[in-house]
Amino acid sequence: MGSASKYWQLVKLDSTGRRRMEVMTSAKTYFTQQFPDWVEAVEVTDAIVQRELFHRMKIAEPSEPNAAELCLRCFISYQIDQACRDLGLKFGSRNGFTALDLLLFVLDDDGRSRQNSQYRSLSQTALNSFDPAKASLGTWVNLQVKQHPELRRFLLEHGVYLISDWAILNDTTPKQLQRIFAEIYHLTDTDIQFASELLKSFHAIYREERLQQRLSGKLQACQPPTLEQLKRISNDLHDRMQHPISSETVLSQLNAIAARLRRYRIVAKGGTVDSVPFDQPEIRPLVDRAQPPQEDEEQNEFLQFYQSQFMESLDHAIAEVIPNIIKNLRRKRNPADQSFLAALHLFHCQGQSMGEIAPQVGLKKQYEVTRLLKLNDLRADIRQRSLANLRDRVIDKAKFYADIDRLQRLEEKVDLILNEQLTGVIEEAQAETKSPVRNQPLKSLLARRLCLYLASRKSNS
């Protein structure tokens, strides 16, 4: 069971929005008096404890305070907290939110009785719909958190769509895939055909076993395909296309297809895409193809323009963001403006750790350097400024090459395309800072452009 205190400590948010634990005295007294042997018991499972508490909650007199219910609400608050922490760890740093941002939507139980109120906290809603015969309370609460409408909307706005790759593939038809890959991603006919045939093979094998589960009454959330299933999918695809493909490649290609479908669904639902650079195709063609026709002069000219403008917009954004940070530091009469530039250089251009940088810029601790640089905020600002600048340049240039109808369609998609590539640049930089080669300049594109800016700034000073 672990610590019994989770049945009398309520995780809640205080008036300032901070997370804290509050001991619910009535719940603690009830639990320790009614179940003294369970307080220190290791072998007793949460399922046993919860079944007993749930039974007592149901038979309690409606007019009396329900201590068993409060014990369960404390446990539920603990599970809500864990669910949000898990989501924050998995998606937060990459998508710009924290576990606390999520808790604001779902941690709404203050521990008071709501017998005469129409308001129901998530804890009470979960309890009212819980069936101990069908699931554990922890699993049920985790599901309620992930299905919470406002939390799901918030996650979508930050590029997170809470559904597995296998569920996405399972409920996407080949015709839907063909339309999305053609109209949204503009893939070649060969790539679209391959993806469509692979999806058909996936359905032929995976859906069959899902159907058997449904008939047996044991249907569960879509799980990753087994090795045996992957082999059968590989064989089925070979029969369809007469092209050998390994089980490992089948798995990677299914994930790649699901990634594109996921981003499409996020955008279609009004969210922001969580993506990879569009110049690194996810679906590698596995069938022989003829050499693509030579691009015409206009296409080459526009491509060269885009590549130059992408780099120019990134450099322009860096040249705007860094001085603004310095200006803000000086406005606050913070003497750290020069320390900021030095730390930025030592980190990106020499590959030093935060701990090594601290004494060189007049700081004592590693976390002080982290707080000074605020790298996540820095990257986010650079990304936003680059996106705004580059979008205007691309649309203006495209007017020379596209007719009105094509231009209108382009404007609808250009934000998605540019957002993908800039997100890729930022993610590359974030990934590199997590496992850098020490005492060597960082190699990501953003790091290299930052070092060029810092060098030019130093030479002009």
Per-residue pLDDT band at 280 (split at 50, 70, 90): very low
Q: Which residue has the tokens 């606390």?
A: 100
| pLDDT value at residue 197 | 93
Taking a C-beta distance cutoff of 8 angstroms, is the pair 107, 80 a contact?
A: yes
pLDDT at residue 176 greater than cutoff 70: yes
How far apart, in Å, are the Cα atoms of 77 and each of 8, 12, 131, 146? Answer: 10, 7, 18, 14
Residue (of 191, 198, 207) closest to 252 by Cα position: 198
Per-residue pLDDT band at 42 (split at 50, 70, 90): low
Taking a C-beta distance cutoff of 8 angstroms, is the pair 203, 237 a contact?
A: no
Lowest mean pLDDT, pick from 74-88, 121-135, 309-323, 425-439: 425-439
Taking a C-beta distance cutoff of 8 angstroms, is the pair 423, 383 a contact?
A: yes
| pLDDT value at residue 28 | 94
Q: Which residue has the tokens 């003294």?
A: 36
Q: What percent of the chain has pLDDT over 70?
A: 77
Per-residue tokens: 378? 């820095």
Give me the mean pLDDT over the 256-275 stretch.
74
Question: Taking the chain, what is the end-to-end CA distance rounded to the nearest angstrom?
Answer: 64
Q: Which residue has the tokens 């990634």?
A: 259
Domain boundaries, the chain: 4-157, 165-268, 298-460
For 419, other C-beta atoms within 10 Å of its C-beta total 21
pLDDT at residue 31 greater than cutoff 90: yes
pLDDT in tens, 413-446: 555 556 666 666 777 777 777 766 677 888 788 8
pLDDT in tens, 63-107: 667 899 999 999 999 999 989 988 888 888 778 888 899 999 999
Per-residue tokens: 167? 């569920």
Taking a C-beta distance cutoff of 8 angstroms, is the pair 266, 273 a contact?
A: yes
Q: In residues, how long is the chain? A: 461
Residue 24: CB partners within 8 Å, gap ≥ 6?
Answer: 8, 9, 10, 70, 74, 111
Instruction: State the chain's mean pLDDT as an integer.
Output: 79
Per-residue tokens: 99? 């576990």
| pLDDT value at residue 328 | 85
| pLDDT value at residue 305 | 60
Per-residue pLDDT band at 192 (split at 50, 70, 90): very high
Per-residue pLDDT band at 411 (split at 50, 70, 90): low
**How far is it, in rounded angstroms, from Cα 453 to Cα 445?**
12
Per-residue pLDDT band at 164 (split at 50, 70, 90): confident
